[in-house]
Amino acid sequence: MNIVLIGMNHKTAPLEIRERLPLSSRNNVHPLLEMIKIPQIKEAFYLSTCNRVEALASAVDAKAVVERLKEFIFPHGDLTSEEMARCLYVYFDHEAVRHLFRVASSIDSLVMGEPQILGQVKEAYRQAAELRTTGVILNRVVHHAFRVAKRVRTETEIASNAVSVSFAAVELAKKIFGALKGKTVLLIGAGEMSELAARHLIKYGVDRILIANRTYTRALEMARDFHAGVIEFDRLGEGLRDADIVISSTGAPGYVINAEMVAAALHRRKSRLLFLIDIAVPRDIDPAAGNIDNVYLYNIDNLQEIVDENLNNRRREAEKAEAIIEEEALKYREWFGTLKVVPTIVSLREKVEGIITGELGRSLSWMRNLSPEQRKNVEILASSILNKVLHDPIAALKEESQNGGALPYIAALRRLFRLDDG
């Protein structure tokens, strides 16, 4: 196929090396433009995220350009050749295609199944398309990668179920309350994780936030960020009455909320379900509160267990995804196999002969009036016209193939004459 992929990711290269690479341009020259300048490279695609750098190219001779590609990457990161040898991977043809499919499907990501990578691949492709560095081969590979990613997403559970503590909390809230619209969240204490969870909850429909903090001014500050209401710390009971979801993360040494407070609040809220999330260490909420009817209490370990379980599940689903990717990579190889001069000419001729036979068959009714000799002449006329029409394109194709540049013509021909349909 003469496709080559060279790159490094979070598995092969430590952060110190990775962070040196994504200098997207030196002297304001886009890496794609530098790649495409390498003489033998016909098409180029370049993806750079915080976890990976991938340079994909289609070349006249893929093996020959590997060293040149390394030289292209080399000055970007000031890598020593020893570091290069350790961190870089090089894939050719089938393996290169499969690798790109794995990347786009998020199988190769640090957090398997994370959704951002597909957007990053799309953005990288947009740049390549803008700079016109991709052509028949890579366009097809990248588009195919998008399709594979979609298939993996819908056919496996790789991207379902929370793999972060704050998302696990959101999923649990949905298990309890269904839609979160109209629900109220009470944040007790400030903390990055509780803020993150609150933001996720807002995204999923929670529309009222209450904040309680031992330092009242800090509570007011946070309230401004969230457009939230503030509750005084010694009146938490009232917050428990109004809120449906409570996220507690104070630095208090003892319990901030005890079981009696919860029981009393539940009585006042007429037994409406209450979801308590305790992400503080040491814990803020008395575990006994979890035994009360219609109260669901999760601490940080409970949430982490869910996350671990979900991560295991993703790893199992990854096997299914690998099978899909392999299948699709084979499909690509099959398509690539059709991109040859002789088979293309053969199927073009077949198509044309099919048309001639079909049209003659349709004219049978009036041709019956002709003598056998006249009929023969009509048939000869029809096929000689079509052969004349085909002669120049086929001759040009053979010419190009001798110069080694037939691929785009073959692809165009197959597309224009619909040779791949049926």
With CA atoms as reference, report the closest residue to 382 among 405, 359, 401, 411. 359
- The residue (of 176 and 345) whose beta carbon lies closer to another protein is 176
State in angstroms the smallest separation of the CB of 189 from another protein: 23
Least distance in angstroms from the C-beta of 278 to another protein? 13
Q: How far is the CB of 302 from another protein (least distance, A)?
A: 5
Nearer to another protein, 12 or 160 (CB): 160
Contacts 24+ apart (CB under 8 A), 349-358: 349/390, 351/417, 351/419, 352/386, 352/387, 352/390, 353/383, 355/386, 356/382, 356/383, 356/386
* Under rule CB under 8 A, residue 298 binds another protein: yes
Least distance (Å) between residue 402 CB and another protein: 53
Question: Does 293 interact with another protein (rule: CB under 8 A)?
Answer: yes
Q: Which stretch binds another protein (CB under 8 A): 31-39, 57-65, 115-123, 172-180?
A: 172-180
Distance between CA atoms of residues 97 and 332, nearest Å: 8
What region does 290 belong to: left with phi over 0, alpha with psi -120 to 50, or beta?
alpha
Interface with another protein, residue 177, by CB under 8 A: yes
Nearest C-alpha neighbor of 235 from the set 254, 219, 253: 219
Tokens in use for 338?
A: 């059709």
Based on the shown chain and the rule CB under 8 A, indicate whether residue 272 belongs to the binding site for another protein: yes
Given the rule CB under 8 A, which of 53-61, 267-275, 322-330, 367-375 is the region that contacts another protein?
267-275
The whole-angstrom separation of Cα 144 and Cα 370 is 53
Choose the binding region for another protein from 4-12, 43-51, 128-136, 175-183 (rule: CB under 8 A).
Answer: 175-183
Asked if 271 interacts with another protein (CB under 8 A), we say yes
Residues 332/141, Cβ–Cβ less than 8 Å:
yes
Tell me how far apart the alpha carbons of residues 194 and 176 are, in angstroms, rounded to a whole number: 19
Residues 75-114 that bind another protein (CB under 8 A): none
Closest CB to another protein among residues 72, 298: 298
Quick one: 34 or 317, whose CB is closer to another protein?
A: 317
Part of the chain binding another protein (CB under 8 A), chosen from 33-41, 77-85, 167-175, 395-403: 167-175
Of 40, 47, 41, 49, the C-alpha closest to 10 is: 49
Rg (CA), the chain: 32
In the structure encoding, which two tokens stand for residue 399, read together? 């010419």
Among positions 88, 103, 172, 188, the unique one binding another protein when judged by CB under 8 A: 172
Q: How far is the CB of 207 from another protein (least distance, A)?
A: 16
In the list 89, 92, 296, 417, the residue contacting another protein (rule: CB under 8 A) is 296
With contacts defined by CB under 8 A, name the span among 72-80, 166-174, 317-325, 399-407 that binds another protein: 166-174
Give the shortest CB-175-to-another protein separation in angstroms.
6
Catalytic site includes residue 50: yes
Pick 187 or 295: Cβ nearer another protein: 295
# residues contacting another protein (CB under 8 A): 22
Q: Which residues of 14-29 are buried (b: 16+ CB within 10 A; e: fewer)?
A: eeebbeebbeeeeeee
Among 229, 237, 290, 343, binds another protein (CB under 8 A): 290
Is there binding between residue 294 and another protein (CB under 8 A)? yes
In the complex, the smallest distance separating the C-beta of residue 306 from another protein, rounded to whole angstroms, is 6
Residues in 302-341 at the binding interface with another protein, rule: CB under 8 A: 302, 305-306, 309, 313
Binding of another protein by 176 (CB under 8 A):
yes
Which CB sits closer to another protein, 26 or 272? 272
Q: Which of 15, 23, 33, 50 is catalytic?
A: 50
Residues that bind another protein (CB under 8 A): 161, 171-172, 174-178, 270-273, 290, 293-294, 296, 298, 302, 305-306, 309, 313
Residues that are catalytic: 50
